[in-house]
């Protein structure tokens, strides 16, 4: 393994970091904070946590899907992650007749475990510092674009060499750390046959819904179970009935011993994105532009979607995943802005910048003179295009109708190029299926209401240079038409998308069905103009053209400037504060966070305990509210106090607990370990007072929320009767 570069050795020296802040690269734990972890109670050696020569804890942790963490809990490839991480898979197997989302799912044998096409898990094989194979070969005083191109070329050579060395058994990627002051190669292996094994009903796995999301006290049984399958040689393989359960190098033993205040905890996972080192101008940008804009737009979507969830079980299945995604960010950003203001982060940053400016007057710091002023200029100049970029993402890119239009447009492009009737007919069938799928899995009045609001925002709030003529046409023609009724008890009032929904062929299945009967390879030219110039297709195409030609190039230009400034500012901070131990911002690479079990005081006269119990679930029971309707079986077990071996020594059944591990998005599903490296919980959230920790960690209030693993085992064993799964695990009593 390469040693850390001389630059980092000079600028990153040992010290006891403030509180339990930080997301630490496991490769460098011994250099960083291992001594502090041991002082808090850790019993493991650095080699037991991360090793490339022997099995270690890192071999039991994986990326789950595209944005969560998961961990192995048996020698037969059994995996536990969050319910919300397995949500898409659970929904994909659900129907009104077999509603696994509402009722839960438990495979009582391996033959009942359900395949999930497209779902993967990725293990880290090893990581290596390759900074000295990249940065010495990058010339000084070149443009940032040129710099990044050279780094990409150098990185690709290293990646190709590593993958060839392993005969392409593993995949490799090089990621920048400290904003491009360090580079680490990550060698990974991905398994593609991942099957659903178990999930509690939504009333347990998502108990409290969006009301309790980001909150403490919490009573959510947020877990789901999957199993990794491999070929007969234990290697990755596409789904096949002949595949067998994966045999892991390492899996976590599960502790039934419980915990108490002050006990050591460690979170091992893949945190997504933090910005701990940005200047005050960056914080102001988030606080006054980015978060308020996203909150406003998502609030409007939720005002429409939340009532729709309660209309019918079918409608809930249609929109539950979308509501969860929208609401998660919406509520997080509200908490983030409150936390940043409460901690006066802007003032703290500005106070540091006064000291920084003074330092730039010294011989050592003078090369960074003007850096903060350059930041100020960039953030001022990029304001309008940044706003347009946010609006495009929130009102166009993530709105169902426009995503649907994009799929139709792509199919029309293929139909235009169809070389023969057979190919054309396949594309025509795909087109009709896409239309029917959209109509059957969405409520048209809901989609119209959302599209109305999104067009209103985009049309009225952005500069005219970002408004296409087709959107102006839609808005103006909608104002000239009368209201109309659809097959719903609600009146569809005139709105900005009225003309769009009334005139588009692709939002009118009756008209489209008539045309499709006449549509052939030979007759397509007759209808081609109508299809290509359909108002929905035209509007979507025009919006994307504006994004590609105006918004994205300008936004990317400023981001490139920020990349350069961030790299220099990070290097400057490390030079200024030589005695400070810096950890790299999260970038969805494997990290270790550590801390202790503890409660907290969120505000005056309020003191939160460090755990919750099943009694709290029963207290919240409300049969009239979907998210609080406690299943009868769970209430029965509570009444009998039938907790088995999973009760705490105080006699109660613990549900969730909190600690001060530094976590963020991507840590969902991460294992929470005790001092012996045994699993005590599954991380799933932060408290609302913690959400600003992506920019500023507050040791007094920042708490990660974890599911007590004993509650998960209780649900698997006592509630679901899936004893076979318990038998696979190693329980430490």
What is the pLDDT at residue 491? 38
Strand partners, 255: 732
With tokens 């399958």, the residue in question is 229
pLDDT digits (tens, 9 = 90+) for 598-647: 999 998 999 999 999 999 999 999 998 888 999 999 999 999 999 999 99
Length of the chain: 733
Contact at 8 Å (CB) between 329 and 398?
no
- The Cα–Cα gap between 544 and 533 comes to 15
Q: Is 666 left (phi over 0), alpha (psi -120 to 50) or beta?
A: left
Strand partners, 71: 61, 80
* Residue 276 pLDDT > 90: yes
pLDDT digits (tens, 9 = 90+) for 504-547: 999 988 888 888 889 999 999 999 999 999 999 999 999 999 99
Beta strands 193-199 and 105-106: pairing type? antiparallel
Other Cβ atoms closer than 10 A to 362:
10
Instruction: Mean pLDDT check: name the lowest of 199-213, 214-228, 312-326, 571-585.
Output: 312-326
What is the pLDDT at residue 3? 39
Buried b (16+ CB within 10 A) or exposed e, 131-150: bebbbeeeeeeeebeebbee
What letter would DSSP give residue 288?
Answer: I
* Percentage of residues in the chain having pLDDT higher than 70: 95
- The Cα–Cα gap between 718 and 712 comes to 10
What is the pLDDT at residue 508? 87
Contact at 8 Å (CB) between 253 and 241?
no
277 by DSSP, 3-state: which? coil
* Residue 484 pLDDT > 80: no
355 by DSSP, 3-state: which? helix
With tokens 């009045």, the residue in question is 445
| Burial environment of residue 538 by CB neighbours within 10 A (0 to 12, 13 to 18, 19 or more) | buried
* Residue 483 pLDDT > 50: no
54 is catalytic: no
Residue 460: φ, ψ to 5°: -90, -25
Helix (H) or strand (E) holding 60, with range, is none
Contact at 8 Å (CB) between 435 and 506?
yes
What is the pLDDT at residue 511? 84
Helices 400-416 + 444-461 axis angle, to 10: 90
Contact at 8 Å (CB) between 8 and 571?
no
Contact at 8 Å (CB) between 86 and 196?
yes
Given 20, 74, 83, 84, the catalytic residue: 84
What is the pLDDT at residue 6? 35
Other Cβ atoms closer than 10 A to 172:
22
| Positive or negative: CA dihedral 310, 666, 566, 23 | positive
- The Cα–Cα gap between 123 and 235 comes to 12
Contact at 8 Å (CB) between 663 and 271?
yes
Domain ranges of the chain: 1-120+192-268+582-678+697-733, 280-560
Residue 709: φ, ψ to 5°: -60, -25
What is the pLDDT at residue 65? 96
Q: Which residues, 6 or more positions from 430, have their beta carbon under 8 angstroms from its beta carbon?
A: 411
pLDDT-derived band at 317, boundaries 50, 70, 90 = confident
Q: Which two tokens stand for residue 510?
A: 């009756």
Beta strands 78-81 and 224-230: pairing type? antiparallel
Strand partners, 106: 198
Q: Which residues, 6 or more positions from 447, have their beta carbon under 8 angstroms from its beta carbon?
A: 400, 401
Helices 552-576 + 371-381 axis angle, to 10: 160
723 is catalytic: no
Strand partners, 190: 122
* Residue 9 pLDDT > 60: no
Given 255, 668, 693, 706, the catalytic residue: 668
Q: Is the model's pTM score more than 0.95? A: no
What letter would DSSP give residue 341?
Answer: H
* Residue 393 pLDDT > 70: yes
pLDDT digits (tens, 9 = 90+) for 280-290: 999 999 999 99
* Residue 712 pLDDT > 80: yes
Buried b (16+ CB within 10 A) or exposed e, 444-461: bbbbbbbbbbbbbbbbee
pLDDT digits (tens, 9 = 90+) for 113-144: 999 999 999 999 999 999 999 999 999 989 99
623 by DSSP, 3-state: which? coil
Q: Which residues, 6 or more positions from 529, have their beta carbon under 8 angstroms from its beta carbon?
A: none
Other Cβ atoms closer than 10 A to 423:
14
* Residue 18 pLDDT > 50: no
Higher pLDDT, 1 or 195: 195
- The Cα–Cα gap between 294 and 279 comes to 21
pLDDT digits (tens, 9 = 90+) for 39-63: 999 999 999 999 999 999 999 999 9
What is the pLDDT at residue 146? 97
- Beta strands of 399-490 (E only): which ranges? 484-485
Q: Which residues, 6 or more positions from 383, have their beta carbon under 8 angstroms from its beta carbon?
A: 289
* Residue 487 pLDDT > 80: no
Higher pLDDT, 267 or 316: 267
Average the pLDDT over 648-676 and give the result: 97
Given 222, 452, 534, 698, the catalytic residue: 222
- The Cα–Cα gap between 708 and 278 comes to 35
575 is catalytic: no
* Residue 492 pLDDT > 50: no
* Residue 10 pLDDT > 60: no
Mean pLDDT of the chain: 93
Q: How many CA atoms lie within 13 A of 78 on its CB side?
A: 22
Contact at 8 Å (CB) between 56 and 48?
yes
| 1-120+192-268+582-678+697-733 has CATH 3.40.50.10490 classification | no
* Residue 382 pLDDT > 50: yes
- The Cα–Cα gap between 46 and 33 comes to 10
């Amino acid at each position: 393994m390469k040693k850390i570069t001389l630059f980092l050795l000079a600028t990153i020296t040992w010290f006891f970091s403030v509180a339990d802040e930080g997301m630490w690269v496991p490769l460098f734990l011994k250099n960083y904070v291992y001594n502090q972890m041991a002082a808090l109670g850790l019993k493991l050696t650095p080699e037991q946590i991360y090793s490339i020569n022997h099995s270690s804890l890192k071999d039991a942790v994986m990326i789950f899907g595209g944005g969560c963490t998961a961990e192995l809990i048996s020698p037969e490839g059994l995996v536990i992650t969050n319910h919300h991480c397995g949500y898409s898979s659970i929904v994909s197997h659900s129907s009104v007749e077999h509603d696994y989302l509402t009722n839960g799912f438990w495979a009582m044998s391996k033959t009942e475990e359900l395949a999930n096409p497209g779902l993967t898990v990725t293990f880290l094989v090893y990581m290596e510092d390759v900074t000295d194979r990249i940065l010495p070969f990058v010339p000084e005083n070149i443009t940032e674009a040129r710099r990044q191109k050279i780094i990409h070329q150098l990185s690709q050579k290293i990646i190709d060499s590593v993958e060839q060395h392993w005969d392409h058994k593993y995949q490799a990627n090089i990621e920048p750390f400290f904003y491009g002051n360090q580079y680490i190669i990550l060698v990974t292996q991905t398994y593609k046959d991942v099957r659903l094994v178990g999930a509690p009903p939504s009333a347990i796995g998502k108990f409290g819904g969006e009301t309790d999301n980001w909150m403490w006290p919490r009573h959510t049984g947020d877990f789901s179970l999957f199993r990794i399958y491999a070929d007969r040689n234990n290697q990755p393989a596409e789904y096949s009935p002949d595949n067998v359960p994966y045999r892991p190098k390492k899996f976590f033993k599960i502790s039934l011993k419980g915990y108490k205040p002050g006990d050591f905890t460690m979170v091992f996972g893949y945190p997504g994105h933090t910005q701990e080192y940005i200047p005050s101008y960056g914080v102001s940008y988030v606080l006054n532009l980015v978060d308020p804009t996203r909150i406003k737009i998502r609030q409007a979507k939720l005002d429409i979607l939340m009532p729709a969830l309660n209309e019918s079980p079918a409608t809930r299945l249609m929109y539950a995943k979308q509501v969860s995604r929208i609401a998660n960010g919406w509520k997080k950003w509200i908490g983030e802005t409150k936390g940043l203001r409460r901690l006066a982060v802007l003032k703290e940053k500005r106070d540091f910048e006064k000291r920084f400016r003074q330092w730039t007057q010294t011989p050592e710091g003078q090369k960074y003179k003007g850096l903060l002023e350059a930041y100020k200029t960039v953030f001022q100049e990029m304001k309008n295009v940044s706003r347009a970029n946010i609006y495009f993402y929130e009102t166009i890119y993530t709105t169902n109708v426009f995503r649907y239009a994009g799929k139709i447009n792509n199919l029309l492009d293929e139909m235009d190029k169809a070389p023969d009737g057979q190919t054309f007919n396949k594309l025509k069938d795909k087109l009709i299926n896409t239309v029917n799928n959209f109509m059957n899995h969405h409520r048209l009045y809901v989609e119209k209401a959302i599209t109305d609001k999104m067009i209103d925002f985009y049309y009225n709030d952005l500069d005219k240079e970002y408004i296409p003529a087709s959107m102006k046409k839609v808005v103006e023609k909608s104002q000239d038409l009368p209201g109309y009724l659809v097959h719903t008890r609600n009146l569809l009032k005139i709105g900005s998308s009225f003309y769009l929904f009334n005139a588009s062929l692709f939002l009118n299945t009756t008209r489209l069905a008539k045309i499709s009967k006449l549509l052939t390879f030979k007759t397509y030219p007759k209808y081609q103009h109508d299809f290509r110039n359909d108002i929905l297709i035209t509007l979507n195409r025009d919006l994307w053209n504006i994004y590609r030609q105006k918004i994205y190039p300008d936004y990317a230009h400023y981001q490139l400037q920020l990349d350069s400034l961030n790299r220099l500012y990070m290097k400057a901070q490390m030079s200024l504060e030589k005695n400070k131990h810096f950890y790299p911002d999260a970038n969805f690479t494997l990290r270790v966070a550590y801390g202790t079990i503890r409660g907290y005081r969120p505000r005056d006269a309020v003191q939160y305990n460090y755990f919750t119990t099943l009694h709290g679930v029963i207290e919240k029971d409300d049969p009239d509210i979907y998210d609080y309707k406690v299943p009868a079986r769970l209430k029965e077990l509570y009444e009998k106090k039938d907790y088995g071996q999973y009760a705490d020594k105080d006699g109660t059944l613990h549900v969730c607990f909190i600690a001060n591990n530094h976590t963020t998005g991507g840590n969902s599903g991460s294992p929470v370990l005790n001092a012996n490296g045994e699993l005590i919980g599954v991380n799933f959230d932060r408290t609302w007072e913690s959400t600003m920790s992506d920019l500023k960690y507050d040791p007094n209030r920042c708490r990660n929320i974890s599911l007590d693993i004993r509650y998960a085992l209780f649900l698997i064993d006592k509630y679901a009767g899936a004893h076979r799964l318990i038998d696979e695990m190693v329980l430490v009593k």
